[in-house]
A and B are shown apart, each in its own frame.
With several copies, the nearest count.
Chain A
Amino acid sequence: MTLYTQNLPRWKKEEVAEIKRSIEEHTLVGVVDMYGIPASQVQQIRRSLRGTARVKMARNTLIEHALSDLGGSVAALNEHATGQSALIFTNENPFKLFKLLEKTKTKMAAKPGETAPEDIVVPKGPTSFKPGPIVGELQQVGIPAAIEGGKVKIREAKTVVKEGETISKKVADALVKLGIKPMDVGLVLQAAYYRDTIFTPDLLAIDEEAYASNIVLAAQQAFNLSVNAVIPTRLTISAIIGKAVREARNVGVEASIYEKGVIDLIIGRAQQQMLAVALVAADHGFELDEATL
C-alpha cells in the first residue's frame, strides 16, 4: 500500500512513515484543530499532555498520505483533517482524551469578528482606570461606566455580547482594556480513531459520568418496575414483601382491624387523635391534666 508515497521526496517519505508508525503504536489517533492557537500556548498544551498524549503537526497532504497508506477504517479520518489540523496520539480512550483536551483550554482575549462562546458579561465594580476618555469609550459600547472617588467604575453588570453573536472591534477593544478574556482556546478534537471506529465530538461530549448515572437510572427503573409490577426477582423480592406488608398495615390501621401486627399502630393513631382533640379543647378552655401531655 505504498502506492501513494512512492513518488514523494525522501524527507516526506520519512515523515509519512513516522506518522504511520505512531498510528500503529497507539490505540488512538485523533485529529485536532490548531487554528488560532498561539505558539506559546501550543507549547504549554504539549507540556501538560506529556506522558499521556503527543501532538504531531504535519502538512495535511502528508497526513492524508499516511492515512490512505494505512487504508481501512482509519482512512476515514481524512474527512476530518482540514485546515490547520494536527494529529494526536494516545493510549487513553477517546472520552479521556476529549476531557483532557477540554482541560487544556485557556481563556484568551477576543479578536474582532470572533463569535462569543457564551454571554460576555462586564461585571459591576471599580476598575483601575483614572477618569479620562475611557469612560466615553466604554459608554459607547453600552457599558455603564461612571466616575466615582477619582476612579472609573462600572455601575452595574452588563451583558455586552450574547452567546453566538459576533464581537465587534469596539467591544473587543473595550474588553481588552478591562482585561476580560472570553474566548476558550485550545485543541479541538475533531475526530478520533479508536478500535476500528471513528468517534466524533457529538459522541464524545457525553462523558463517562453521564453513562454511569444512566446505569444507575436504568437500575432504578428496573427496580421500580419489578416492585410496582410485582415481578419477583431475588434482588427485589424483599422490597415487594415490604410493599405488601406496608399496604396490609395501612389497610389494617385505616379499617381498624384489630390484629397483632397493626394494633400498636392503631393505638398510636388513637393517641394522636386524642392529643389533637385535647389541644383544641384546651384552646377552648378545657384544662388538661398533666398526664395528657
Chain B
Amino acid sequence: MEYIYAALLLHNAGKDVTDENVTAVLKAAGVAVEDARVKALVAALEDVNIEEAISKAAVAPVAAAAPAA
C-alpha cells in the first residue's frame, strides 16, 4: 500500500499525483522505488476522481464485511 498512501498524501497536500512526485515521496520514506509500479499507479489514477473515491470510503461498510449475497 506504500504507493497508494504516497498518492493519497500528495492528493491531500494538493499536489498532482505524477510519477516524479510519487517517486519523491516514496524515496523520502526510504522505499526502493519500482518505476513500473509508480507508472501503473499513476496510469490507473488518470481517470479517477480521488476525492470521490475518498468520500465514498467514508460511507463504505467499515471493515471488509462481505455481505453474503
Q: Which residues of A contact B (CB under 8 A)?
A: 93-95, 194-195, 197-200, 203-204, 206-208, 210-212, 214-282, 284-289, 291-292
Known: A206-B40, A219-B54, A242-B53. A257 touches B47 (CB 8 A): no
Docked complex Cα distance between A238 and B64 (Å)? 13
The reply to whether A271 and B54 contact each other, CB–CB distance below 8 Å, is yes
Looking at the assembled complex, report how far the CB atom of B52 sits from the nearest CB atom of chain A, in whole angstroms.
Answer: 8
Q: A240-B4, A242-B62, A253-B58 given as contacts; is B39 within 8 A of A194 (CB)?
A: yes
Asked if B28 is at the interface (CB within 8 A of a chain A CB), the reply is no
- Find residues 21-69 in chain B having any chain A CB closer than 8 Å to their own CB: 35-37, 39-41, 43-48, 50, 52-62, 64, 66-67, 69
Task: Name which residue of chain B comes closest to A93, CB basis.
Answer: B43
By a CB distance below 8 angstroms, the chain A residues around B48 are 208, 211-212, 215, 225, 228-229, 234, 237-238, 241, 251, 254-255, 260, 263-264, 267, 277, 280-281, 284
**List of B residues within 8 angstroms of A231 by Cβ:** 3-4, 40-41, 44-45
9 extra A-B contacts, CB within 8 A, seeds A228-B53, A235-B58, A289-B1: A225-B53, A236-B58, A244-B4, A268-B59, A269-B57, A269-B58, A280-B45, A284-B43, A286-B43
Cβ contacts under 8 Å, B1 to chain A: 214, 217-218, 222, 226, 230, 233, 235-236, 243-245, 247-248, 252, 256, 259-262, 266, 269-270, 273-274, 278, 288-289, 291-292
Most B Cβ at <10 Å: residue of A226, A238, A266: A238
Provide a sorted-by-A list of 10 A–B residue pairs whose CB atoms are within 8 angstroms.
A197-B35, A208-B48, A215-B8, A232-B44, A245-B54, A267-B54, A268-B60, A276-B60, A284-B47, A287-B40
A211 to B45, Cβ gap below 8 A? yes
- Residue of B4, B5, B36, B64 near A197 (CB, 8 A) is B36
- CB neighbours of A264 from chain B (8 A): 48, 52-53, 56, 61
Interface contact A244-B5, CB-CB below 8 Å: yes
B interface SS class:
helix
Those 10 A-B pairs whose CB atoms lie nearest each other, nearest first: A268-B57, A227-B58, A219-B57, A286-B44, A276-B57, A254-B53, A242-B57, A232-B44, A253-B58, A261-B1
Distance to closest chain A CB from B6 (angstroms): 10
Task: State the Cβ distance, A67 to closest chain B Cβ, in Å.
Answer: 18
Contact across chains for A246 and B53 when beta carbons are under 8 A apart: no
Q: Which residues of chain B have C-beta atoms less than 8 A from A236's C-beta?
A: 1, 44, 58
A199-B39 contact in complex given A234-B47, A262-B4, A289-B1, C-beta closer than 8 Å: yes
Residues from chain A with a CB closer than 8 A to the CB of B53 are: 212, 215-216, 219, 224-225, 228-229, 237-238, 241-242, 245, 250-251, 254-255, 263-264, 267-268, 271, 273, 276-277, 279-280
The interface residues of chain A lying within 8 Å CB-to-CB of B55 are 221, 224, 247, 250
Q: Which residues of the other chain, A, contact B66 by a CB distance below 8 angstroms?
A: 221
